[in-house]
Chains A and B, each alone.
Chain A
């Protein structure tokens, strides 16, 4: 009997979570170079997950992954890429503009130095 396959990879989600955790632990150790490397990996994984969620019809989770991707680009010192993604999200999810703007504002406050 065929088994139902989830459109979103459980392994991908776990790898993403652990990479994000590695980035946060590196930040806690003040290892900014290491943290940036992990956050950049997470950003790309979140973009893949966001696409998978969209195809599965889970728009709320797709937005969450997109926001996480933008946040991780920012924390990986790719602020231009992050800002571009935030701008796209504001167009795609106008009803969610407050949470999108709030996420950007918190990044600008907490991570003011984001030059690549």
Chain B
């Protein structure tokens, strides 16, 4: 399923979070791939509540993001942090277009996850990698960590910015 999206719309998709830095970081990371905008990104989603499984082929438009702000942010965060932030944006797009799910809060420290999704407070763990080769290990670590600790449902999303792809899975 091909979906055209604007990064700035994340503020409406997940209105409880702050998105300025995350959106600008995403523009930096996607621009570093040398691909001209709009940026393609393929996210495989599996078993999302109310949606199911599909291949979400995003066409990501960075319109509306201040280049001045982007340049300032480029000097503020280390590259690995920018990738972490960009992964949050991709996850936010996947959750919204994969069943209308909303990131509502930050997860409790020690829970093994990063965010809480929907009113059910499902845990969400996110990881971003700059290289495709690091994807598998990152996925296994996140999945096993949550699967071993959580009784209820949880989401794991891992994305990589070499081939611009990722995976978002829900497990009840």
Q: Which residues of A contact B (CB under 8 A)?
A: 13-14, 17-18, 20-22, 24-25, 28-29, 64, 67-68, 71, 99, 102-103, 106-107
**What's the tally of chain B residues with a CB closer than 8 Å to chain A?**
15
Instruction: Please give, as numbers and ranges, the residues of chain B lying within 8 Å of A25 by CB-CB distance.
Output: 18, 21
Q: Select one of A13, A22, A28, A106 contacting B105, CB under 8 A.
A: A13
Q: A24, B106: Cβ atoms under 8 Å?
A: yes
A interface, by DSSP: helix, strand, loop or mixed? helix
**Complex alpha-carbon distance, A66 and B76, angstroms:** 32
Instruction: Please give, as numbers and ranges, the residues of chain A lying within 8 Å of B81 by CB-CB distance.
Output: 28-29
Q: Which residues of B contact A (CB under 8 A)?
A: 16-18, 21, 76-77, 81, 84-85, 104-106, 108-110
Q: Assuming the A-B contacts A14-B16, A18-B16, are A103 and B21 also in contact, with contact meaning beta carbons closer than 8 angstroms in the complex?
A: no
Q: B110, A18: Cβ atoms under 8 Å?
A: no
What are the 3 A-B residue pairs with the smallest beta carbon separation, nearest first?
A103-B110, A71-B109, A28-B81
Instruction: Please give, as numbers and ranges, the residues of chain A lying within 8 Å of B18 by CB-CB distance.
Output: 18, 21-22, 25
Instruction: Please give, as numbers and ranges, the residues of chain B lying within 8 Å of A67 by CB-CB distance.
Output: 108-110
Q: B108, A68: Cβ atoms under 8 Å?
A: yes
Using CB atoms, name the residue of chain A closest to B21: A25
**Complex alpha-carbon distance, A72 and B21, angstroms:** 22
Instruction: Please give, as numbers and ranges, the residues of chain A lying within 8 Å of B17 by CB-CB distance.
Output: 17-18, 21
